[in-house]
Amino acid sequence: MMDDMSQYLGVFLDEATEQLELLERDILLLEQNPSQELLNGIFRAAHTLKGSSRAMGFTAMGELTHAMEDVFDQLRQNKLTVTRELVDALFAGLDMLKAMTEEIAAQGATELDASELTARLRQTLEQKTGAAPEGTPPPAPATASPETTAADPEDTAPPVPAFTLTDAQKTAVQEAQRTGLTLLTLQVRLAPDCLMKSVRAMMVLQALEQVGTLLATRPDEDALDNEEFENHFDVLIATEREDDAVAAAARGVNEVQDVRVRPFTLPQDTPATTGPAPEPAAPSRREARNTPPVVDERRIDAGPEARGKSPEEVQKIAAEKKQAQTVRVDVTRLDTLLNLVGELVMDRNRIAQLCGQLSLQVAANDILDSLQETAAHVGRITDELQEEIMKARMLPISNVFSRFPRMVRDLAQKLNKEVDFLVEGGETELDRSVIEVIGDPLIHMLRNSVDHGIELPEEREQAGKPRIGTVRLAACHAENHIVITIEDDGRGMDPEKLRASAVKKGLLTEEAAARLSDREALNIIFMPGFSTAKVVSDVSGRGVGMDIVRSNLQKLGAQIDIESRPGAGSRFTIKMPLTLAIIRGLLVHVAGGVYAMPLASVVETIRIAESDIHLVNHQEVIMQRGRVLPIIRLREVFQLDQGVTPAERALYMMEPASAEPVMDPDAPAEAPAKRSRRSGARAAQRTTRSSAARKTTRAASTETADVAVVRERASEPDAVRYVVIVGHAGKHYGLMVDTLIGEQEVVIKTLGKFLGEIPGISGATILGDGRVALIMDINGVVACAAAEKGKVHAA
């Protein structure tokens, strides 16, 4: 049995996950602003879920959904009101359903017991609705059956032998005719050996919903749900499509043997409707599932609301049609495609380079011309291909954001806080590789905002603020990056308190803490072992600290910036690349090797003289626009001939990334300024194609890696030094390189498991000439430099 079902499991799980997400979102909206339209949607989602889980044999899931569906039904009929307790109960149910779905996904079955929850929901129903007398209209049968959770009264309804339309359905039919839609009956015949008839039937109905509006089925939908039919069933549909298109939609479902389409005409004896005004037919499919009188009642309830929505319904249908034009692609296939394009990008670079070399050696001729033309064309096509594939991998960030409102709500409730959670820019798209990893850090930061940022309502009132705190999560694109901001209007962070706290915890010396600017002091929260909460709550205390959050984000090439005003709130700004596969990098030479620095971290490049460098407190610095900029000589960080033992290496790895406050006493941090290049950095001038960069590569590679230069630096005060200013943790550092090569798009390749993590290096890329360049991890470089300093002073 399970084997037979397993082939539908994927479909079922996809659908269930979708419906659960929908339910969660809508129940949350419901709590804020109940509307009939919303309830209809929720009811439909619950109903679909009930049907499919029962069809798959997950009875417990079906029962629980059924109980929830009944609650929604009562809400819809205004017999229940939305209360916090009710929403809590529904969320509890939802969580259970999610857990069940996960278990099913993992092991094909679920043993979770939902009977208690089901009973709780039933109880809610009983209490709230009182004992609605059974059998007398207008009770909905489902809701009026608190005595049993096992038997759905609708289940027992015998299959209807023909299209006996309810008045409401007739109204819908007439309305459809009036608006010029075609009415069709479809006779769908399933293959005789079809194993999961009800699943197939549901799939057919879903397919048909894409092309029109279902008005009725024969037998009714519950009978279809429960497999109470032979191998065929009939569907009445209102559509603006051709017969063939409708039939094709149904035939598209597996194991559908035959579909016959006939026009439908309303029997003559139908009196013109005198009841409620005509309304769009869309909701009728779900409404029509009960016995006629009950359906009528429900439709009247739902009518006035639903009627006003008709333009939206139209839009919805249009959206559904649009959806039908998309294809689901396995993500591994997209990954493979991107890898292949990555190879192509590298070969493109190589071909361009070879063409350049050839043109220097061979006198101009036609073949060379066409070769160069072709190479240029291949280059353009590759660029476009890369762009398109990157786009295909993009997902709206709402995929991540959608799970936050619920979390914030639960959290606020637990902490007795009142929080208005605003989400903006959910449509902002980014690569799925980023989507996968951005969720956890954001969860933690949001928890922090609610837990530590937002005050209790009473406190807020005392401070003259509105009772309800606001947490705002927003995403937007900025150049080739995505910027995510998390903002709250809570108590903010007091630099003075942070300093004191860091000293008390032994994270900083009093002296070092006093030297921090207010802005730098905010970064104390990212120090390992720091937590501002007076009491470690089970909320933010759970899991990781902000230090881990920051280092995880930095691994993704993200920069975090904090702004905060005591009493007014805090804002965290995360800037990160749209993809983890390809980045723009600044290529530089260091000690004979070519390195790529993620452009996201680069603020500007400058040229200085050796004599500009001063030694302050064992730290080399330069003055730049009146500010002190610590200098890190990358030659010393990346010297090659010095072997490192595994033990030493492990030491580097453990070095906390935030040793830097000690290194940099006075430099006031500023928000990453707009990248401005000085004339001294001519070599790094932006090049759209990297041809200019490649020329400099060749020129620069002739330069010998003379490590002795480093040792004798004091002896040549006029020597020109190139410094790349990078922003790291809200501070700027000057990384001294041998030469600047240029800006280029680099495909990130992992160094592989064998090498593991290497301090200061996050990966590698392959250059146009086939050589390997290492990608710098700015975070690691700064940590290495700090560790190096520590070693020297200890010695």
The binding site for another protein (CB under 8 A) comprises 342-343, 346, 591-593, 637-640, 643-647, 649-650, 652-653, 749-761, 764, 766, 770-774, 784
Provide the b/e sequence for 90-108 (b: ≥16 CB within 10 Å): bbbbbebbbebbebbeeee
- Least distance in angstroms from the C-beta of 55 to another protein: 41
- The residue behind tokens 């839009």 is 315
- Least distance in angstroms from the C-beta of 724 to another protein: 17
Asked if 379 and 690 touch (Cβ cutoff 8 Å), the reply is: no
Question: Which of 341, 435 has the CB closer to another protein?
Answer: 341
Asked if 469 and 490 touch (Cβ cutoff 8 Å), the reply is: yes
Task: Calculate the alpha carbon distances from 135 to 140, 141, 143, 153, 290 in Å.
Answer: 9, 8, 11, 11, 13
- Least distance in angstroms from the C-beta of 743 to another protein: 20
Contacts of 490 (CB under 8 A, 6+ apart): 449, 452, 453, 454, 455, 469, 569, 570
Question: Which of 484, 774 has the CB closer to another protein?
Answer: 774
- Least distance in angstroms from the C-beta of 768 to another protein: 12
Catalytic residue among 69, 221, 455, 660: 69
Say which amino acid occupies 419. V
Asked if 700 and 739 touch (Cβ cutoff 8 Å), the reply is: yes
Angle at 589 between CA 751 and CA 664, to 5 degrees: 90
Give the torsion sign (CA, 434, 436, 441, 447).
positive
- Cα–Cα dist 93/101, whole Å: 12
Catalytic residue among 448, 452, 589, 732: 448
Asked if 566 and 608 touch (Cβ cutoff 8 Å), the reply is: no
Question: Which of 464, 643 has the CB closer to another protein?
Answer: 643
Bridge partners (DSSP) of residue 563 are 571
Catalytic residue among 15, 24, 40, 47: 47
Question: Which of 637, 669 has the CB closer to another protein?
Answer: 637
- Least distance in angstroms from the C-beta of 438 to another protein: 25
- Least distance in angstroms from the C-beta of 320 to another protein: 42
Give the torsion sign (CA, 224, 229, 231, 232).
negative
Asked if 766 and 779 touch (Cβ cutoff 8 Å), the reply is: no
- Cα–Cα dist 737/684, whole Å: 12
Question: Which of 327, 708 has the CB closer to another protein?
Answer: 708
Instruction: Identify each DSSP E strand in 379-478 by its residue range.
Output: 394-396, 419-424, 429-431, 469-478
- Least distance in angstroms from the C-beta of 507 to another protein: 24
Question: Which of 27, 781 has the CB closer to another protein?
Answer: 781
- Least distance in angstroms from the C-beta of 425 to another protein: 36
Spell out the alpha helix ranges (H) of 292-431. Answer: 292-307, 310-323, 331-361, 366-392, 398-401, 404-414
Question: Which of 135, 646 has the CB closer to another protein?
Answer: 646
Question: Which of 237, 778 has the CB closer to another protein?
Answer: 778
- Cα–Cα dist 266/181, whole Å: 14
- Cα–Cα dist 55/49, whole Å: 10
Spell out the alpha helix ranges (H) of 477-600. Answer: 495-504, 510-515, 518-522, 546-555
Task: Say whether 69 is catalytic.
Answer: yes
- Least distance in angstroms from the C-beta of 753 to another protein: 5
Question: Which of 717, 770 has the CB closer to another protein?
Answer: 770
Catalytic residues: 47, 69, 448
